[in-house]
Chains A and B, each alone.
Chain A
Amino acid sequence: MRNSSCREFMCLSVDRNQHSGRQAAGSPGQSMLSEPMSNLAMAYGSSLATQGKEMMDKNLDRFIPISKLKYYFAVDTLYVGKKLGLLVFPYMHENWEVSYQQDTPVAPRFDVNAPDLYIPAMGFITYVLVAGLALGTQNRFTPELLGVHASSALVWLIMEVLAVLLSLYLVTVSTDLTTIDLLAFAGYKYVGMIVGLVAGLMFGRPAYYLSLLWCCAAIFVFMTRTLRLKLLSEAAAEGKLVRVARNQLRMYLTMCIAAAQPVFMYWFTYHLIR
């Protein structure tokens, strides 16, 4: 990289000297010196910046697959509205299967059952802000507490995803659930938490308990129905009894994952409502 930048420097200096040489007649001595130098410096700086950006993008792409992430953000307003409705009231929805298009799942925009990362990300940020608001109304607010809430919620989310991954590995389930899918499903609980918190802030403790209860039940049903299709074998998901012991274990696993959600929801919100 150093050789190429030296070469650029030389090329540019030759170029600029030619230009300024032609126009040197009649210009003050100062501008003849400063104009090529400043252009040189500017061009060198911007080429350095381009190189740095290139290197960063290459390295970033190795750790975070940007193209896969983009799939989870291919959402539109209609999808988000329907998904939020599903998260709060999943009882009437009948078809929980994700539709596929030539072996790849369809983008969330076109299928309400596909997981996305927009809702979890916005939910997380909104949760942190609403927690700050709740603390503020009780005069317990400091910016450090906000950071504490944000980081602890994030850490517990990551630990939950890791625990689910570990249990999936132990139970030897072959499924097409990726890590990002699990992150998305774990992030859906923030919606219920926010609903509970807002109800509690506006109408007091009984409203908080009622709405949290409703949202916990809803997220339990949502997770069970979604994960059942992914974790259990196809036949069992349709209701037939296939290889009882193995599927029982998977059923228990699904139940455990779904039951962990209400626990987290209560744990992260009860200390914010007084």
Chain B
Amino acid sequence: MSGFDKFNTDFYQSSYSVDDQNQAGYGYNNENQYNKQYSQYDYSQQMGYPAPGMMQPQQPYTGQIFQPTQTYTPSSSQSMYSSSFDDEPPLLEELGINFDHIWQKTLTVLHPLKVADGSIMNETDLAGPMVFCLAFGATLLLAGKIQFGYVYGISAIGCLGMYCLLNLMSMTGVSFGCVASVLGYCLLPMIVLSSFGVLFSLQGLMGIILTAAIIGWCSLSASKIFISALAMDGQQLLVAYPCALLYGVFALISVF
């Protein structure tokens, strides 16, 4: 804990003292670190920072000791269900696949100009993105390009890069699952592009215009969702640019 002092001296002196952190010693040390960093990073942004649910050491700990918190394991609520057969939750609910939410998120992606609701990204859902990745690979296969490996590799590197960038740019952090989920959902228009690529070649003027439009569509949707989920102001184009780079690489695979 003494390492924090050297961060403190270079920077904006917050009123958050080290002593406040020494309560709730069991297993909450990582959250104290995050709080220290966020309280330093306070460049008179008018909104302050909305502390995420599990990072408030001032609240009394109401759960059970050494039991993981709700937000960390999203399906832990399922474990509270009774073990009798009649009361067992349906399979899809237990797996955490909620078709209604998937459909809602898909609709959000398909309307890039409509304002998004920030709370839809609260549960990280990787089922939808997996389906979209597979569909993208399948349409590429139809065009004769067997490049599943590139698709997965680029999406992994891209997600990692976006995760680092968004954590550095936003006031509240973001989890890797959320980033992967959003980027996966916004891959949907790219599937449209690659299915066009099956029908006619994308290397002419029409193809270039279509490619540019689809890249713009994907990155605008992704940045819109990130902005509303992370409450970043005045940074939409800044978030859209790296998304456009990532989807540009996918488009390169579809076109060439």
Contacts and interface: CB of A to CB of B under 8 A. Distances in A.
Chains A and B bind each other: yes
Contact of A76 (B41, B66, B76, B233): B233
A61 B40 CA distance: 14
Interface stretch (B79-87, B96-104, B116-124, B211-219): B79-87
Interface string B132-148: 00000000000000000
Contacts of A74: 41, 43, 169
Interface string A83-114: 00000000000000000001010110110000
Nearest to A31: B83
A254 B122 CA distance: 50
A77 B239 CA distance: 10
A7 B10 CA distance: 40
Given A71-B41, A73-B168, A110-B43, 12 more contacts: A39-B79, A53-B30, A57-B30, A57-B33, A73-B165, A76-B235, A77-B235, A77-B238, A80-B238, A118-B238, A125-B242, A125-B245
Contacts of A118: 169, 238
Interface string B161-187: 100010011000000000000000000
B67 A42 contact: no
Majority SS of interface residues in chain A?
A: helix
A50 B68 contact: yes
Contacts of A57: 30, 33
Interface string B31-72: 001000100110100000000000000000000111110001
A46 B11 CA distance: 35
Given A23-B84, A31-B83, A54-B29, A75 B238 contact: yes
Interface stretch (A62-70, A164-172, A185-193, A205-213): A62-70
A35 interface: yes
B40 A67 contact: yes
Interface of A: 4, 7-8, 11-12, 15, 20, 23-24, 26-28, 31-32, 35, 39, 42-43, 46-47, 50, 53-54, 57-58, 61-62, 65-71, 73-78, 80, 102, 104, 106-107, 109-110, 118, 121-122, 125-126, 129, 136
B43 A109 contact: yes
A15 B242 CA distance: 47
A93 B37 CA distance: 35
Given A43-B67, A46-B73, A47-B68, A77 B256 contact: no
B253 to A, nearest CB: 11
Contacts of B7: 65, 67-68
Interface string B220-250: 0000000000000111111001100100110
Contact of A67 (B11, B79, B242): B11
